[in-house]
Amino acid sequence: MIEDTWGYTPMKKSSCCYQGLFTVAMSTGDCELAIQYAPRLLKTNPAILADDTMRCIAYRNFAGAYELKKDYLRSSEYYRRSAEVQGKIYGSDSVEVATTYYNTGNNYRDQGQYKEALKYYIRALVIQEEKLPENHFETAKTLGNIAYVHQKCKSYRKALEFSKRELEMTIKSRPEMHELIGISYQRFSLNCEATGQLELALENFVKAQNILRHSLPETHERLIQIQKHVDWIRRQLS
């Protein structure tokens, strides 16, 4: 999400204009235009580079712009810069740094670089487990992405381990029948199926269905895919 504040230091009029244009471009999904304004914003307001908080926000916003453009190399570079500044401001083991590690993991995941993604997700998880309250939904999200990466790497037992932890934490951190609980049941079921635990997979696919039907139409692709797995498992068990 784009941040529309760059700190409290007064800016030159031209810099304020570029800030506004950058924010509007990002809000409308025009990453090409946002990237054009980014260097102009820094040039017209060097105070951004002199102030750690403003610089951190700028780097994070630029990373988001390049990520939308699918320019992952530049996006990763700005996430790296953001993490460095955040470490200076908040400490290297801060929740803010963990969030940037998580975003960097997403960046590598979207490129299909799963080993790199896993490295950053693990870094985020270590901090989140230490700094966030027990069973926090942000920690659950990281566990889910770690499970996803292991699944893509065909490390199904590892994927099962992390998807189970994600499911348990999501149940505790979300309201009953929340859509994300249904998605967590689905992810856990897929890994049960992949490791040959068909009865457990079937049980949890049905739980996923029951929850997701409260928020999704029967024609939704997620429900269609779950039903296909349910039908296949029932045939295997019959």
Q: 143-194 pLDDT, tens per residue?
A: 999 999 999 999 999 999 999 999 999 999 999 999 999 999 999 999 999 9
**pTM to 2 decimals?**
0.81
The pLDDT score that the predictor gives to residue 152 is 95
Q: Is residue 105 within 8 Å of residue 117, measured between CB atoms? A: yes
Rg over alpha carbons for the chain, rounded to the nearest Å, is: 21
CATH topology match: 1-114 vs 133-238: yes
The pLDDT score that the predictor gives to residue 106 is 94
Q: Residues near 153 by Cβ (< 8 Å), separated by ≥ 6?
A: 114, 115, 118
Give Dmax (Cα) for the chain: 73
Counts of helices then strands in the chain (DSSP H, E): 12, 0
**1.10.357.10, 1.25.40.10, 3.30.1360.10, 3.30.200.20: which CATH number matches 133-238?**
1.25.40.10
Point out the residues of the chain with pLDDT beneath 50: 1-15
d(Cα 81, Cα 157) in Å, to the nearest integer?
A: 35
> Where do runs of H (alpha helix) occur along 45-113?
47-50, 52-68, 72-90, 95-111
Question: Domain residues of the chain, as ranges?
Answer: 1-114, 133-238
Q: Is residue 82 within 8 Å of residue 74, measured between CB atoms? A: no
Architecture of domain 1-114: Alpha Horseshoe (1.25)
